[in-house]
Amino acid sequence: MTKKLKKALTFFDHHVSCISRRVHRVLSSIPQLQFVLFGLAMVIVGYIVYTGSSPGNINVLAIIMIYSMVALGLNLLLGYGGLISLSTAPVMGLAAHGMRILVVGEQFGQVNYFLAIVIVLVLSVFMGLLIGLLSLKMEGIYLAIATLFFGYIIAELAGAFELFSYGQSARMGAITFFGDTSLSWIHDIWTLYLIVVATVTLVVIGLYNILKSPTGRAFMAISRSQHAALAMGISVRRYRFLAFVISTVVAAIGGILYVTFRQRTGAFDSRWNLELSLILLAIVVVGGLKSFFGMFLGAMIIIGIPEFYFERIEAFIINRGWFGESFRMLGFSDVFAGLMIVLAILFYPRGAIMIFYTLKAKLIALKQRKAGRDVSIDVE
Amino acid sequence: MYFGGLKAVDDLSFTIEKNQIVGLIGPNGAGKTTVFNCVTQFYKNYEGRVLYSTEDGEALDLRTIDVTKIVRLGIARTFQNLELIPDATVIDNVLIGAAQDVKTNLFDHLVRTPRTRQQNRELRERAIEILEFLNIALLKDMYVLGLPYGVKKKVEIARALIANPKLMILDEPAAGLNEQETQELETLIRKIRDDYGITVLLIEHDMRFVMNLCDIVCAINFGKLLAVDKPAAIQKNPLVQEAYLGKED
């Protein structure tokens, strides 16, 4: 009986390793496939959540996907170009409000949904150039402060004009595709989620391609060794502009996705504020520079786990009446989220994505030890 | 060339012929690297002229050229303090040198058009060829961060080589290398001159290395020219001896 089991196990083990080797080979020849697989996984996870006991959590999943994508755009700036921006959230907000203005059309008349996307993206390119202008004269903390106030200016202007509904959140309403198909948030949340996953996957593949191309190398060159970049004919100015334009466009896509999914624009002072810019920055730092999966992990740690688990635990304890009233004031989930960020940075200063590398190294060590033991048995 | 009130290079003039290996020597602070930075246009506000003979035999004043365009004229350089990307692989670092040969645009890179893939393949092949020439092809997928100093130096040379230069400017290529590595570097630089037909201008403190390798040596001190001559003559030159050893009272 045990012999049979052992045989079956070796048979199984052999086939699993064969398959995994083949998967590995395909993945290393077409690395873009990993993002498609990730997208499919997110569709499955989303479906489980959507049909499960608390379908509202699909909102959190969509937001995490959008933030991961925007964080990857920021990563291109920070991890590759060595530049920093604290105006990501206002840019997202501006794109969201821009979409509403164009699609609802109270002021300038209605525009087709896709045409509105094109207009918003073109405008975001100009915005990126404008922010990029700051980076020609500044670096590091100075650039951070300059972009911070650029973001403030955007938010203040949005608050001053009625056009942006005085910076407050406004309803966009159901989105009309191709004239007749309209998607309302209440009924078609699953379709909207699929749109988010598909767009994020495509944008991430595009960013991955850029980062692995000569353009990506040039970004690294301008941040790691400016002198070498100049001597080799890479214009630091040009690539700084380019880095800001790309990351601003990605942030705008994030804003468009948000408004498409939620069908509300979100307010400048409660959603598109400095806190979100800093959270996006934290996702980049906690998740690990230079990897999309790192961004996703970072978003999970900073937004996902507190939303999914800590708040539930908090509600549970409050309902039981443990620790009294002071517990309600403490804000358990925020405290734990902060603690987790500190722990992640403490143990994985190069990003939470390093967890996988550590696990892989452990696995290999384990396998080798096992192999070593097998050999010694053979000798006996 | 002045830095504030300090005169770093003063009335210096020398000529480099094609296919020569020229050494620039001088005590610390003599202004050697400043000369290099003037030639490669990192510094622009110097007095005087840096002339470069183009392919059609015209004398081109390099001051009119932007620092990022210098490499297109066929002038590539290395740096005294290594200027590499630590968190990129050896081959990616080398490919930085091929930036001028990248003919594809951002859109090509975004969607990975066949043109991009074709070009990436070609550039990679060229990079591997150069890495093989420098005997470090095995390390091509290693990150630069943990590599030994000698290899990093070679990566810098490879990055300059892939730019297809006619003039290669090496800032202290042998600094920090052991004796064996220095000897290997000597044969390599000779081969670079003979096989690739590249003129070499280098700064170096290792006198044996300079005297063995260079056709012409140019000695400077306090930004002033001391002598330009064959290595043997430079060794006997009293001015050079004084600059290095001091004057006998």
H or E element in which residue A367 lies: helix A354-379
Full residue range of the structural domain in which residue A280 is found = 30-328
Q: What is the pLDDT of residues B151-201, one digit of tens each?
A: 898 999 999 999 888 889 998 888 888 888 889 899 999 988 888 888 998
Question: B110–A209: do the CB atoms touch at under 8 Å?
Answer: yes
Mutate: best of A213, A242, A289, partner B, most B CBs <10 A = A213
Question: B83–A227: do the CB atoms touch at under 8 Å?
Answer: yes
Question: A231–B76: do the CB atoms touch at under 8 Å?
Answer: yes
Those residues of chain A whose CB sits closer than 8 Å to some CB in chain B are: 32, 206, 209-210, 213-218, 220-221, 224-225, 227-235, 242, 290
Q: Is residue A224 part of a domain?
A: yes
Q: Is residue A374 part of a domain?
A: no
Q: Is residue A376 part of a domain?
A: no
What values do phi and psi take at A338, rounded to 5? -60, -45
Lowest mean per-residue pLDDT among A122-126, A157-161, B127-131 = A157-161
Integer Cα distance of B83 and B155 in angstroms? 10
Q: How much is the pLDDT for A91?
A: 92
Tokens of B218: 């140019």
The residue in chain B having the minimum alpha-carbon distance to the alpha carbon of residue A223 is B85
E strand spans, chain A: 175-177, 181-183
Question: B70–A210: do the CB atoms touch at under 8 Å?
Answer: no
Q: What is the pLDDT of residues A20-55, one digit of tens each?
A: 888 788 877 788 888 999 999 999 999 998 888 878
The residue in chain B having the minimum alpha-carbon distance to the alpha carbon of residue A81 is B85
CA-nearest of B72, B31, B53 to B222 is B31
Min Cα–Cα distance to chain A from B242, Å? 34
**Full-model pTM:** 0.86
Q: Is residue A334 part of a domain?
A: no
Q: Is residue A304 part of a domain?
A: yes
Q: What is the pLDDT of residues A273-317, one digit of tens each?
A: 888 898 898 888 888 777 888 888 888 888 888 777 777 777 787
Q: What is the pLDDT of residues B80-124, one digit of tens each?
A: 888 898 888 899 999 998 888 787 888 888 878 888 888 888 999
Our count of domains for chain A comes to 1
Say what angle helices A2-29 and A33-51 make with each other, to 10 degrees: 120
| Widest Cα–Cα separation across chain B | 73
| Counts for chain B of helices (H) and strands (E), in that order | 9, 10
Q: Is residue A340 part of a domain?
A: no
Q: Which CATH number goes with the domain that contains A236? A: 1.10.3470
Q: Does B92 touch chain A (CB under 8 A)?
A: yes
Question: B88–A229: do the CB atoms touch at under 8 Å?
Answer: no
Q: What is the mean pLDDT of residues A225-235?
A: 88
Contact residues on chain A for B67, CB-CB shorter than 8 A: 230-231
Interface A–B counts its CB contacts (< 8 A) at 93
Q: Is residue A101 part of a domain?
A: yes
Question: B86–A242: do the CB atoms touch at under 8 Å?
Answer: no
CB A104 within 8 A of CB A113: no
Contact residues on chain A for B163, CB-CB shorter than 8 A: 232-233
Residue B141 pLDDT > 90 = no
Contact residues on chain A for B98, CB-CB shorter than 8 A: 214
Q: How much is the pLDDT for A377?
A: 47
The residue in chain B having the minimum alpha-carbon distance to the alpha carbon of residue A243 is B106
Question: B110–A224: do the CB atoms touch at under 8 Å?
Answer: no
Q: Is residue A370 part of a domain?
A: no
The residue in chain B having the minimum alpha-carbon distance to the alpha carbon of residue A209 is B110
Q: How much is the pLDDT for A378?
A: 44
Which whole-number Å values give the CA distances from B246 to A237, B66, B242, in the listed order?
A: 46, 40, 5
Q: What is the pLDDT of residues A59-86, one digit of tens each?
A: 889 999 999 999 999 999 988 888 888 9
- Nearest by CB to A233, from B100, B106, B108: name it: B100
CA-nearest of B40, B59, B42 to B3 is B42
